Structure 1
């Protein structure tokens, strides 16, 4: 983790150098899952350089019954932090023409007991009516050789799933709208749904208050990731509130 912190610090420091001028943003978000009653929070730093390079660093937390309560290492059911992970992303945008681009990138997720590498390729385009469409293929590979379970009960395996995302975005005045369907698949391996695939749907609405503040809300469907007291699987849903601040 010290190595990651040093890399992050170096990249953040570089943003202050005039040659690498660009746009810097801070994203803070709180979320609540309505079925599982899980709570989560995220703080994300983003910088887009003028030359097309993008970098972000975020800290994500899962909480028990309180976002800001004290932690009890002997009882995970008490308030406070339950789990945490850090995520780093880097990508470069190549313009095909004025409205279309392609972008290779890498997401690195670190947690106390594992690291996941997520290389991806993204293609985006925009239309005269203000609609933007972006598609992404991402390969998720974990260094935890026993992180996922085979559906046939034969044991555990490495997480190495294929993931597909599409984003539809449009602005109407100061209001921004976005819809993101996501699909993940790993042949014969449980994706947390009791199946070897997983669907997630996110609808986001934001409102630009001014050049600095943009609050937003997300409504999310998380597929059948919740198991009730009868052992039956149910869809979990999340509602998230946050804001983006231009620094």
Structure 2
């Protein structure tokens, strides 16, 4: 894994074949669960259609920043293949690892550029756990998840807005904090293009009744994030 990470970082800074390198720094807060978070992400796009990213997320504990931990890391890559002048397909893969183990997330995304300023898309993803967890019956099984993302976006020279409804469901006998096998959320991102380099943004993610706090489950969860994308 260390050798792979070194190669990926080296590729990310290769100016001969690269199109754009972006550093994304983001902080967030979950209102229902009273949890703080932060993310550091480096991504690289190539002119031939390939895209690659690496990220690590930190959790700052409950009600404060006194228990910071890193338990979310992932590498993602995809390839954009044009089907027509306005429709593209993006097969890709996410490799995620944390304290519990690793997860492989293959996906395929279809994007339709309806006009020069607007687009929509759909992504089908399967999150396959490489480790077992205790299910609702007390048995050991994989808490794998099937997921569908929808995308609706608009942008101009200064603004970028994207709405992303997400629907997901456990494949086996597991429940979310809403005590159901399935859940959904809606993520809205508004980014301001201050310059070609600096692009601050805000994000609101409504997650339904998925919050948990001090032993209580099923709390209404809103996640608020503030971040900045830096094009190097």
Q: Structure 2 length as normaliser, TM-score?
A: 0.92
1:100 equivalent to 2:84? Answer no
CA RMSD of aligned residues (A): 1.9
Name the counterpart of 2:68: 81
Q: Secondary structure at the match of 1:136?
A: strand
1:223 is displaced (CA, Å) by: 2.3
The separation in 1 between residues aligned to 2:109 and 2:59, in whole angstroms, is 28
1:41 is displaced (CA, Å) by: 0.4
The separation in 1 between residues aligned to 2:224 and 2:60, in whole angstroms, is 15
The separation in 1 between residues aligned to 2:92 and 2:26, in whole angstroms, is 23
Name the counterpart of 2:170: 186
1:212 is displaced (CA, Å) by: 0.3
Tell me which moved more, 190-199 or 38-47.
Answer: 190-199
Tell me which of 161, 168, 182 is aligned to 1:177. 161
The separation in 2 between residues aligned to 1:108 and 1:206, in whole angstroms, is 27
Name the counterpart of 2:135: 149
- Select the structure that is richer in strand: 2
Extract unaligned runs of 5+ from structure 2.
Answer: none
Name the counterpart of 2:181: 196
Tell me which of 105, 115, 120 is aligned to 2:107. 120
1:99 is displaced (CA, Å) by: 1.4
Tell me which moved more, 220-229 or 181-190.
Answer: 220-229
Name the counterpart of 2:30: 33
Name the counterpart of 1:162: 146
Tell me which moved more, 173-182 or 125-134.
Answer: 125-134
The separation in 2 between residues aligned to 1:197 and 1:115, in whole angstroms, is 22
The separation in 1 between residues aligned to 2:27 and 2:115, in whole angstroms, is 34
The separation in 2 between residues aligned to 1:185 and 1:232, in whole angstroms, is 18
Tell me which moved more, 14-23 or 193-202.
Answer: 14-23
The separation in 1 between residues aligned to 2:15 and 2:200, in whole angstroms, is 29
1:221 is displaced (CA, Å) by: 1.1
1:19 is displaced (CA, Å) by: 4.4
Name the counterpart of 2:10: 13
The separation in 1 between residues aligned to 2:122 and 2:35, in whole angstroms, is 29
Name the counterpart of 2:98: 111
The separation in 2 between residues aligned to 1:32 and 1:55, in whole angstroms, is 27
The separation in 2 between residues aligned to 1:172 and 1:13, in whole angstroms, is 32
Name the counterpart of 1:218: 203
The separation in 2 between residues aligned to 1:138 and 1:197, in whole angstroms, is 15
Could you report, residue by residue, the CA deviation over 1:93-136 in whole angstroms, capped at 9, with x for unpaired residues? 11112211101110011113300100001100111262111210
Equivalent pairs, count: 230
1:16 is displaced (CA, Å) by: 3.9
